[in-house]
């Protein structure tokens, strides 16, 4: 298919998202004719000529893919107990992050919980204080939903650094993952205990060494919160809260309390450590915004992204990325290949789910000149990603939580992709 027959959607070589890509289908008709003396295997690779190896009880990635791992964030307190493990989202396609690659922020390490000795306590402003062991919980109705989790501090470097740091997707956006979570709607357990009419908050606490604690509005727990027991079809991994965690769709990662063991129903928030300091937002006027729970609409192009090199100057590439909103579904994603002068609408891959990662794609014919790629998401509430300038206009210069500005990747003529500001 010649270039002229493809419909251009915007400047910089963006093609219509409905373009059919047929150019690769010009199949070669050349083929070798085997001589009568040669055995069938002579020209074949080794693995086609020998019996294969044994499979494993629990499968692992291909040995050639073992480099795709989580990375421990640099520049965080260097203790084994406070760790931030970032997901390599530039290696992910689709919207599900493999469980072993799901990001994880641990303030006091990963506890080694004996499930038979773990209980969920539910007390406070309830008619009947209750405790649940895991054997009982596994008999409740289990619902499954595909949701994203994003740390409030994801992409903090671009919020506070005056100059764009030379970082890739994993370092900048790796506190983001998507998974299918299965568990019990929290309202079942709260209704069983009988919540008193004057209750407004629930203090959720983990069974880790630091007894991580967050105050959650009761309304959220009665809405779409679940007590998650499974992730991607298997029981939770230890770093995701085994044997159970709170899953608050769309809300900042820190509120999704892992290793959950206690819910205390109250009429007031506790002002726990994290809701007092680390997870508050400092506004431009010096005010400290507290309890800003939902993660706002955001997107990032993962293919191509920072620290990658486009293998060939000029030519066809597919731009692909992720969009998400803590307030519902993604309505549209626009992409610019000319630094924001013109925009084209990207295709959204099915399924497009509320409070889930959404995959977007658009074909791009790079003309080989240096340019800047941007993505801009809008959610079903009509919320649209701000520019970095607009975002920073709202917050103090050192405030780094809930950064959701439009991300820009600069493409050099040699194909190098770098984090940049526009």
Partner 1 sequence: MSKQCSQLPILSGLVVVFFSTILLAQDINTNLGKDLLPSEIDTYSITIFPDGTNLPLGQGTAVQGAALYKNSCSLCHGSNGIEGPAARLVGQDGWFSLTDPLRILRIKQHPVLLISVGGLWPHATTIFDYIRRAMPHHAPKSLDNSEVYALTAYLLYRNGLIDEQTTLDRQSILKVTMPARARSTFPRGSDFAIE
Binding residues for partner 1 (CB under 8 A): 75-79, 81-82, 107-108, 121-123, 128-133, 136-137, 139-141, 156, 160, 185, 187-189, 191-193, 200-201, 203, 205, 209-211, 213, 217, 261-262, 264, 266-273, 276-278, 280, 282-283, 286-293, 396-398, 400
Task: Give yes or no for a cis peptide into 304 (omega within 30° of 0).
Answer: yes
Whether the Cβ atoms of residue 371 and residue 411 lie closer than 8 Å to each other: yes
Q: Which is nearer to partner 1, 131 or 341 (CB)?
A: 131
Q: How far is the CB of 120 from partner 1 (least distance, A)?
A: 9
Q: Which is nearer to partner 1, 126 or 374 (CB)?
A: 126
Q: How far is the CB of 38 from partner 1 (least distance, A)?
A: 57
Q: Which is nearer to partner 1, 265 or 357 (CB)?
A: 265
Give the torsion sign (CA, 273, 210, 77, 394): negative
Q: How far is the CB of 410 from partner 1 (least distance, A)?
A: 22
Q: Are strands 226-231 and 213-217 parallel, antiparallel or unpaired?
A: unpaired
Q: Which is nearer to partner 1, 228 or 301 (CB)?
A: 228
Q: Is 180 exposed, middle or buried (0-12, 13-18, 19+ CB in 10 A)?
A: middle
Q: Are strands 298-303 and 71-72 parallel, antiparallel or unpaired?
A: unpaired
Q: How far is the CB of 209 from partner 1 (least distance, A)?
A: 5
Q: Which is nearer to partner 1, 23 or 136 (CB)?
A: 136
Q: How far is the CB of 285 from partner 1 (least distance, A)?
A: 9
Whether the Cβ atoms of residue 379 and residue 329 lie closer than 8 Å to each other: yes
Q: Which is nearer to partner 1, 281 or 334 (CB)?
A: 281
Q: Give 237's strand partners.
A: none
Q: How far is the CB of 56 from partner 1 (least distance, A)?
A: 27
Q: How far is the CB of 137 from partner 1 (least distance, A)?
A: 8
Q: Which is nearer to partner 1, 208 or 334 (CB)?
A: 208
């Amino acid at each position: 298919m010649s270039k002229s027959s493809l419909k251009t959607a915007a400047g910089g070589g963006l093609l219509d998202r409905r373009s059919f890509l047929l150019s690769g289908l010009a199949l070669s008709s050349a083929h070798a004719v085997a001589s009568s003396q040669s055995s069938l295997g002579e020209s074949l690779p080794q693995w086609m000529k020998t019996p294969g190896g044994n499979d494993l009880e629990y499968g692992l990635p291909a040995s050639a893919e073992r480099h795709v791992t989580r990375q421990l964030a640099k520049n965080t307190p260097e203790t084994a107990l406070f760790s931030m493990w970032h997901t390599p989202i530039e290696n992910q396609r689709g919207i599900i992050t493999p469980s072993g690659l799901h990001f994880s922020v641990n303030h006091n390490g990963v506890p080694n919980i004996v499930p038979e000795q773990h209980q969920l306590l539910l007390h406070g402003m309830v008619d009947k204080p209750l405790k649940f062991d895991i054997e009982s919980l596994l008999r409740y109705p289990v619902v499954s939903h595909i949701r994203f989790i994003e740390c409030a501090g994801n992409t903090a470097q671009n919020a506070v650094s005056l100059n764009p740091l030379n970082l890739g997707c994993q370092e900048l956006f790796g506190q983001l993952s998507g998974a299918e979570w299965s568990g019990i709607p929290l309202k079942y357990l709260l209704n069983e205990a009988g919540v008193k009419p004057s209750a407004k908050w629930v203090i959720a606490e983990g069974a880790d060494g630091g007894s991580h604690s967050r105050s959650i509005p009761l309304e959220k727990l009665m809405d779409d919160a679940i007590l998650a027991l499974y992730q991607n079809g298997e029981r939770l991994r230890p770093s995701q809260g085994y044997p159970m965690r709170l899953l608050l769709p769309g809300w900042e990662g820190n509120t999704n309390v892992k290793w959950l063991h206690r819910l205390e129903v109250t009429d007031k928030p506790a002002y726990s450590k994290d809701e007092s300091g680390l997870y508050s937002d400092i506004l431009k006027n010096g005010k400290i915004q507290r309890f800003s729970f939902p993660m706002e609409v955001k997107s990032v192009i993962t293919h191509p992204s920072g620290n990658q090199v486009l293998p060939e100057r000029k030519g066809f590439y597919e731009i692909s990325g992720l969009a998400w909103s803590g307030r519902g579904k993604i309505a549209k994603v626009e992409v610019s290949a000319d630094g924001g002068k013109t925009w084209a609408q990207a295709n959204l891959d099915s399924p497009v789910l509320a409070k889930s990662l959404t995959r977007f794609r658009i074909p791009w014919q790079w003309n080989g000149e240096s340019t800047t790629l941007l993505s801009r998401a809008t959610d079903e509430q009509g919320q649209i990603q701000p520019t970095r300038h607009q975002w920073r206009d709202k917050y103090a210069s050192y405030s780094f939580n809930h950064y959701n500005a439009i991300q820009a990747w600069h493409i050099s003529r040699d194909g190098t992709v770098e984090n940049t500001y526009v």
